[in-house]
Amino acid sequence: GTPPHGCRAARSALEQVMASEENPLTKKTGSPFKVLRAQHYHADRSSRRQVPRSLSGAPSSGDLQLVGNTLEPCLESEEADIDFDTKYYAALLMGSFMVREGGSCDVESGSAYGAALMLPQLARSAGWPLLLTGLSLRVWFFLVVNICMQYSMLMLISREENVLDTIAGQMNLCNFGAGSRGPLGTEITPERTYSWDQWITRVFVKDSLKALFPHRLAEIEAAIDPGEYALESRWARVICCFIFIITTMGEFLLTINMGKLLYMVPTKDESWLTAQSAEAEATQWHEDDAGGEGTWLDKVKIRVAGIPRHWKIFYCLFLLLPKALLWYLCCRIGVEFLMETSTIADVIVNAVAMTFILNIDEMICSTLMSQTTRSMLSRCEEFVLYDVTTEGRMTDQEIMLKFCEKQKWKYIRFKDFVEVVPGKLLTAVLLTAMFIACYFWQKCDITAGGEVVSRTMYKPTIIHENFLQVLFPSLVPRVAEPFWEMPEA
């Protein structure tokens, strides 16, 4: 009469003694697991000792009681039995994710950065054979090509915004919009709002007429209104900046993951190649015997393991640092580019167009790298940061106590409130605010009347920027005489 300890043991025992379909108990309930627990409970109910209340208080439908060493539900009805099943599997579901809260570190499977990190370690583990050494050199060549292409695209956009547009006489857009004054010092209204190309053409026509007919300046000034260079919508610009930052969040998280991997893996010489587990190998031999698709590659496990110190330093300088700098430059230059876009349609299109720059490494991996490299990347196993033996160690009683009973509202903690906060969304909002604030701080001033206008503009003395000038636009040399400043109110 004593029930087996734990739900798995109960199910296993019952399946051995109730295999027949004619068993009346099986017909009655349709669940061998339910039958065994109900049968054990009702058969021994009269002889059981008085048990303590469940951890939640008085017994009720679906609550747990301590009987011997086993947590059992108060089985007063079949509904309670079903409720216990739901609670048990819910505990398994929640527990499977909670034990993995430590996370893991893996190599980017579809990126030139991931290949450049993994292949040298495979070559090192195997003693630098010709094939793996050659593949390592090839992926690093692709990585250099990728970095040069990404940087070149960003440098060209920065050159247009900070050098060429300024030489052409364009002031910063800042917050020029309806309800404030424009670059000419007049009130901005919707019907007098134009993009830069339209506005500068209208100003050119007016200035040309003044030059051709100097004796009719008053008439020209009264008859021709060039309007103002201004925004169509401030909110459209901010929303598009936020959407653009969201599209770069994937690269930001991959950069964090790479830094986490280099920090968390052991700093020692470990092999990234090992044999598959006994279960996987047995399955593979079974497939071979059955005429399956078993291969030598399926008997080898590629995994993230320890990295020697000198390799970690090399990766930080030539892999992690360029990746982080390119992400920063893309976000900063991209937000500046969007903040300098005045029309709604253009700012939406530009927000989408800017995202492809950070995807160049993935395009190179998917189209230019060999199938051998991509296959190795897809088979590389992650480096786990949690105890993988937890699920096998815990008994069903411990599972129910930790992941079911302790999940009740009376055990709520501050950590539970923190987990409700969408961390990635909050990060995207903060990054958007940071880059927009950086734009206003570098390019705009606040007038005495509270208007956010462009700073006094000086033409640069160069037409090409170097790396430091791309990284820090304030280092671009400029002439001493301004070509534009905000008119007085």
- pLDDT tens by residue, the chain, 489 residues: 444 444 455 445 445 544 444 444 444 344 444 443 444 434 433 333 333 333 334 344 444 444 444 444 433 344 344 477 788 888 888 888 888 888 888 999 889 999 999 999 999 999 999 999 999 999 999 999 999 999 999 999 999 999 999 999 999 999 998 888 999 999 999 999 999 999 999 999 999 999 999 999 999 999 999 999 999 999 999 999 999 999 999 999 999 999 999 999 999 999 999 987 655 555 554 444 444 456 788 889 999 999 999 999 999 999 999 999 999 999 999 999 999 999 999 999 999 888 889 999 999 999 999 999 999 999 999 999 888 888 888 888 888 888 887 888 888 888 888 888 899 999 999 999 999 999 999 999 999 888 999 999 999 999 999 999 999 999 999 999 999 999 987
Contact 333, 154 (CB under 8 A): yes
In 3D space, the residue among 266, 267, 272 whose CA is nearest the CA of residue 302 turns out to be: 272
Other beta carbons within 10 angstroms of residue 127's beta carbon come to: 8
CA angle at 267 for the pair 264 and 271, rounded to the nearest 5°: 100
Contact 92, 399 (CB under 8 A): yes
Contact 75, 40 (CB under 8 A): no
Report how far Cα 156 is from the mean position of its chain's Cα atoms.
27
Q: Which positions ≥6 away from 244 have C-beta within 8 Å? A: 331, 334, 335, 338, 351, 354, 355
**CA gap 239, 243 in Å, rounded:** 6
For 70, the 3-state DSSP assignment is: strand
Q: What is the pTM of this model?
A: 0.79
